[in-house]
Amino acid sequence: MTLTIDIPDEQTVALAAKARAHGLSTEQYVRLVLEHDLVPEWLQKSWESSRQAGLDQLSADEIEAEIAAARKARRESRPQSGA
């Protein structure tokens, strides 16, 4: 779908500046903003609580390590069958 909108020049300049700050084209930035606005409220709340806890600063490797540690702890806390 193609959508054309008219916005004031000062908003165009502001959007372009924000896009550059994120290393994106204006079109990419506007698409990102729209996608963020259209996500379900529960997901937005999850993102916000993650940001508040500083979890948005974790690298992919750190996230994988946290998941692996949680899985290991869960396995070790289960009662051993056949013992």
Do 56 and 50 meet the contact criterion of CB atoms below 8 Å apart? yes
Is 3 contained in some domain?
Answer: no
Range of the domain at 30: 9-76
Predicted model pTM = 0.52
pLDDT band, very low/low/confident/very high, at 82 (cuts 50, 70, 90):
low
pLDDT range class, residue 54, cuts 50, 70, 90 = confident
Q: How confident is the model at residue 83 (pLDDT cuts 50, 70, 90)?
A: low
**Could you give the CA distance from residue 30 to residue 3 in angstroms, rounded to a whole number?**
12
1 within domain boundaries: no
Residue 83 lies in a domain: no
Q: How many domains does the chain have?
A: 1
